[in-house]
Amino acid sequence: MSVTSQQVAGHVFLRGLYADAYFPDHVLDKGKAILLRLCERIEAEQPSDLAALYVLTAVATEEFNALEAEFEAADSGIETVAREEIAEDFWFVASAYGFAEADVEVLIAARDW
C-alpha cells in the first residue's frame, strides 16, 4: 500500500536531518519509512479518535526506539535536533489526517530518545 494523501505524499520527512551530515542517510531512510508506514496504517485503519491514533503512533515510536542503535553504530544518535525533527513530523502526520489537536508529547510518549 502507498500513501494516498497528497499533503503527505508531498511532504519531505526528516528534511532538516538529511541536510546535516551528522545523520547518516541510510538510517534516516529507515526513519522516513517508519513515518510512511504510520501514514499507511492511518489510511488503512482510519482511527476514529485520538486514543486510536495514539495506539498507532506508539508503534511507530517504538520503531524509532529500535532505530537508535543504528544511529549509534553510525556514530550518530537521536539527540536534541533529531528529537525535535522527528516530533514535528509525528505532529505533521497527525495534523494531515485531521488530528491537529493531538498532543505531540502523547504522540511520541513511548520514546526513549
Note the pLDDT tens digit of each residue in 67-100: 999 999 999 999 999 999 999 999 999 999 999 9
Per-residue burial over 4-20, b = 16 or more CB atoms within 10 Å of its CB, e = otherwise: eeeebeebebbeebbee
pLDDT tens across 76-85, in order?
999 999 999 9
- How far is C-alpha 21 from the chain's CA centre? 20
pLDDT tens across 25-65, in order?
999 999 999 999 999 999 999 999 999 999 999 999 999 99
- What is the model's pTM? 0.96
Per-residue pLDDT, 1: 73
